[in-house]
Structure formats: C-alpha cells, structure tokens
C-alpha cells in the first residue's frame, strides 16, 4: 500500500473564506486530483466541498446538477461504470477506497490507460473524472461513504458498464480476497472487446 498523503490542514479558530484548492493533473487526460484546504481547531474542522468559482478557475467548468452517496462495506467493488456525457467529482467522506479511472475515449491521448488513487475520509482529496471515462473503486476501509457530484442527471439508458477484471485493461486491484463483493449487475458487465471498443495490437504502458 502506498504511503498516505498529507492533507492540507491549517489550525485556525474561525471559518475562512475563501478556501484554496490545490490541484494535481493525473495521467488520464483531463483528470484531476484536488485537495481543498481544511481548517481545524479544538472543535473539529471546516472545509468547502465545492465552490463554483473556485473550481471553474481550476478548469472544472461544467455545472454539477446531481449529488449521489454510496455506502459500502469492506471488500465491495463498484464498477466499472461510464457515461459518454457525464463528468464526476468523487471523494470519500468516511473510510477508504482505491479509486480507479479508465480512459475509454478513442480520441484521447491516454486511451485505454488506467490510474488509481486512494481516497480516504480523513485526507479530504477529490478526483475529477472527465466524461466518457470509466470509474470504479474497491473498498479497502470499513463503512466507506463515497460522494459523487454529476454534471448530468443519472440515466440508465446512457450509462454503460465494463467488466472490472477486463484483461485488456489489466487493473491491478489491491484485492485482499479471491473475489470482491459485486452487485449482480457489475458481475455481468461485458469486456471492452465485447462492447466493440478497438484494442490496438501495440500499446503503451497501461498502468498508473
């Protein structure tokens, strides 16, 4: 397991405005790792989960119109899910998950590459996932709450799924069991090849 990142936490006695957001581009084209400032004192902490003007300055310009929350126990794997029109901003509010993005946009320079980051409730990090990418996560903590912000309303007719263990993607999930806990729907997703995606015969390194 990689070393835990250090959240940006400032000791302060009053609520600050505006807070800063620190940004790191990820290897997936258009994907971002965001670290909001967190202000802590003897009472606890304060942070801004999202602020339109601040995120627009960082390049996250599409409006978010739906929030969703999932609760998962240890060993659950959710994914891989995609929507050609929906971008997401995801974060762990509680617990810990290994969060994965897979680029399945044929025109993208990072096509078929995947990248993963640990998201932990006490580290306050967020991942921006561009529209058209696949997303999934494996719960490595206990009682993990994941918050998703969506730029489109959820539409099951537009969503598509891909097998979590697709050999052409070859994600090295940090599994601590032979088989993760999957929904019936996620267990039945087809592979990229079965969905008709082009798989180049020669490809660059696929992992993180």
Alpha helices for the chain (secondary structure H) = 52-57, 184-187
Whether 122 is in a domain gets the answer: yes
In 3D space, the residue among 126, 115, 132 whose CA is nearest the CA of residue 172 turns out to be 115
Residue 143 predicted with pLDDT over 80: yes
Q: How confident is the model at residue 207 (pLDDT cuts 50, 70, 90)?
A: low
| pLDDT surpassing 80 at residue 8 | no
19: confidence class by pLDDT, cuts 50, 70, 90:
low
Cα separation, 188 vs 37, in Å, equals 40
Containing structural domain, residue 137? 64-187
pLDDT > 80? residue 169: yes
Q: Is residue 123 part of a domain?
A: yes
**pLDDT value of residue 76:** 97
Closest CA to 161 of 108, 87, 90, 84: 84
In-domain check, residue 102: yes
**Which residue in 83, 96, 97 sits closest to 162, CA to CA?**
83
Whether the Cβ atoms of residue 77 and residue 138 lie closer than 8 Å to each other? yes
pTM of the model: 0.86
% pLDDT > 90, the chain: 71
Predicted confidence (pLDDT) at residue 4 exceeds the cutoff of 80: no
111 within domain boundaries: yes
Q: Is residue 125 part of a domain?
A: yes
Question: What are 29-75's pLDDT values in tens digits?
Answer: 999 999 988 888 899 888 888 888 888 888 898 999 999 999 999 99
Cβ neighbours for 185, distance < 8 A, ≥ 6 positions apart: 161
Mean pLDDT over 163-179 rounds to 93
Domain annotation covers residue 117: yes
Q: What is the CATH number of the domain that holds 137?
A: 2.60.120.10
The pLDDT value recorded for residue 132 is 96
The count of domains in the chain is 1
Q: What positions carry a catalytic annotation?
A: 81, 148
Res. 205: pLDDT tops 90: no
Other CB atoms within 10 A of residue 32 CB: 20
């Amino acid at each position: 397991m990689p070393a835990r990142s250090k959240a940006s936490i400032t000791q302060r006695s009053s609520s600050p405005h505006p807070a800063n957001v620190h940004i790191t581009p990820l290897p997936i084209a258009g994907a971002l790792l965001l670290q909001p400032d967190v202000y802590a004192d003897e009472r606890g902490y304060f942070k801004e989960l999202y602020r339109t003007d601040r995120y627009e300055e960082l390049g996250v310009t599409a409006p978010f119109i739906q929030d969703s929350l999932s609760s998962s126990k240890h060993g659950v794997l959710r994914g891989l899910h995609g929507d050609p029109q929906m971008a997401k901003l995801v974060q762990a509010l509680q617990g810990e998950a290994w969060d994965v993005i897979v680029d399945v946009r044929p025109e993208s320079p990072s096509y078929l590459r995947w990248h993963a980051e640990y998201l932990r409730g006490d580290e306050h990090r967020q991942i921006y996932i561009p529209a058209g990418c696949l997303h999934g996560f494996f719960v490595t903590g206990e009682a993990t709450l994941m918050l998703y912000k969506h730029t489109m309303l959820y539409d099951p007719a537009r969503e598509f799924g891909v097998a979590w263990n697709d050999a052409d993607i070859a994600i090295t999930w940090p599994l601590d069991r032979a088989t993760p806990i999957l929904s019936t729907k996620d267990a039945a997703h087809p592979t990229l090849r079965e969905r008709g995606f082009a798989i180049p015969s020669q490809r660059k390194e696929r992992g993180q």
